[in-house]
Amino acid sequence: MRETPRAEPPQPRPHRAVAHTTGDSCSGTPHRSDGRPPHTPRGARRPDPLGRPGTTPPVPGRPALFSALVALVVVTWQVLVHGPLARLDERVSRSLVDTVPRSLSELASDLGNMTVALPVLGCAMAYAVWRGRRLPALYAGLAMAAVPLLVIPLKEWTARPGPLEPWAQGYYPSGHTATAAVAYFGAAFLVSNRLIPVAAVLTAVTGTGLVLRGFHWPLDVLASLCLGLLVLAVSSSCTRRSSG
Return the closest-CA partner of residue 121 out of 222, 225, 195: 195
Confidence of residue 238 (pLDDT cuts 50, 70, 90): confident
Q: Please compute the mean of the pLDDT values over residues 228-236 and round it to a whole number.
A: 93
Cα angle value 170/231/58 (rounded, 5°): 145
Asked if 18 and 33 touch (Cβ cutoff 8 Å), the reply is yes
- How far from chain centre, in Å, is Cα 157? 27
Its pTM stands at 0.74
More confident residue, 7 or 81: 81
Asked if pLDDT for residue 39 goes beyond 90, the answer is: no
Rounded-to-integer distance, Cα 75 and Cα 78, Å = 5
Return the closest-CA partner of residue 92 out of 173, 42, 163: 163
Asked if 220 and 172 touch (Cβ cutoff 8 Å), the reply is yes
Confidence of residue 57 (pLDDT cuts 50, 70, 90): low
Helices (H), 110-195: 114-130, 134-158, 175-191
Q: Please compute the mean of the pLDDT values over residues 48-75 and round it to a whole number.
A: 70
Asked if 133 and 49 touch (Cβ cutoff 8 Å), the reply is yes
Rounded-to-integer distance, Cα 118 and Cα 105, Å = 20
**pLDDT value of position 60:** 63
